[in-house]
Chain A
Amino acid sequence: NAGVMQNPRHLVRRRGQEARLRCSPMKGHSHVYWYRQLPEEGLKFMVYLQKENIIDESGMPKERFSAEFPKEGPSILRIQQVVRGDSAAYFCASSPGTAQETQYFGPGTRLLVL
């Protein structure tokens, strides 16, 4: 049973470009979470999605960031017009159910904005 998969593992973008980060949850998991880790900090929650629904986006910046989890295919975290401050590691996690369930993390995507 493959774990949570994220790609790309590393992504370099210039300021103003778009970044698309992909996450495929573990088989049988229908809940996806995105977290951001800034250098030398812990992870901060961004968004929680189920298939075709955003359940909680309280941690998402109000502008330029969006997330989706379509009926088919991976979850996508999209950052438009990236700025240097967006440089971070972005981790995706998945769980089979809801509250109190263990979340299993992917290897992360390390975004560098030049």
Chain B
Amino acid sequence: AQSVTQLDSHVSVSEGTPVLLRCNYSSSYSPSLFWYVQHPNKGLQLLLKYTSAATLVKGINGFEAEFKKSETSFHLTKPSAHMSDAAEYFCVVSGFQKLVFGTGTRLLVSP
């Protein structure tokens, strides 16, 4: 069965500093992996998607993620945080036509 573990429930950064949101996955086959973002009381927006092409995936709003098979990781990064990045971030693995979500990481950005 597919699963993801988001290692931090909360991450706090200052505006302009780098962001790192950690995710480890478990999958019995080559997975499709996603990062979605959810702003308060909003729906989910797709940030980026990995599907066994390039291991470094670039997404929207300056985010990117690197697929590391040896470490079973798919961490999300951004070089410089912006106040508008404050939200909940979900690492997701695709498993047999349904998505399996991590428990989420709340990103807090201070001025």
Contact with B along A60-100 (1 / 0, CB 8 A): 00000000000000000000000000000001010000111
Closest residue of chain B to A103 (Cβ to Cβ) is B99
Tell me whether A48 and B97 are in contact in the complex, defined as CB-CB below 8 angstroms, given that A102-B46, A106-B43, A107-B42 are known contacts: yes
Tell me whether A107 and B51 are in contact in the complex, defined as CB-CB below 8 angstroms, given that A42-B103, A55-B97, A102-B34 are known contacts: no
Smallest beta-carbon distance A40→chain B, Å: 8
Contact with B along A9-45 (1 / 0, CB 8 A): 0000000000000000000000101010000011111
Q: Give CA–CA (A35, B44) in the complex, Å.
A: 12
Q: Give CA–CA (A8, B101) in the complex, Å.
A: 24
Query: How many chain B residues have a CB neighbour from A under 8 Å?
Result: 22
- The reply to whether B42 and A33 form a contact with Cβ atoms under 8 Å apart is no
Contact with A along B33-65 (1 / 0, CB 8 A): 010100001111110010100000000000000
What A residues does B32 contact at CB under 8 A? Answer: 100
Partner of A43, one of B49, B51, B90, B94: B90
Closest residue of chain B to A97 (Cβ to Cβ) is B97
Per DSSP, chain A at the interface is strand
Tell me whether A99 and B97 are in contact in the complex, defined as CB-CB below 8 angstroms, given that A105-B43, A106-B43 are known contacts: yes
Contact with A along B56-99 (1 / 0, CB 8 A): 00000000000000000000000000000000001000101111
Tell me whether A99 and B94 are in contact in the complex, defined as CB-CB below 8 angstroms, given that A105-B43, A108-B43 are known contacts: yes
Tell me whether A98 and B43 are in contact in the complex, defined as CB-CB below 8 angstroms, given that A41-B103, A42-B90, A42-B104 are known contacts: no
Q: Give CA–CA (A106, B44) in the complex, Å.
A: 7
- The reply to whether A44 and B94 form a contact with Cβ atoms under 8 Å apart is no
Residues in chain A within 8 A of chain B (CB atoms): 31, 33, 35, 41-45, 48, 55-56, 59, 91, 93, 98-100, 102-108, 110
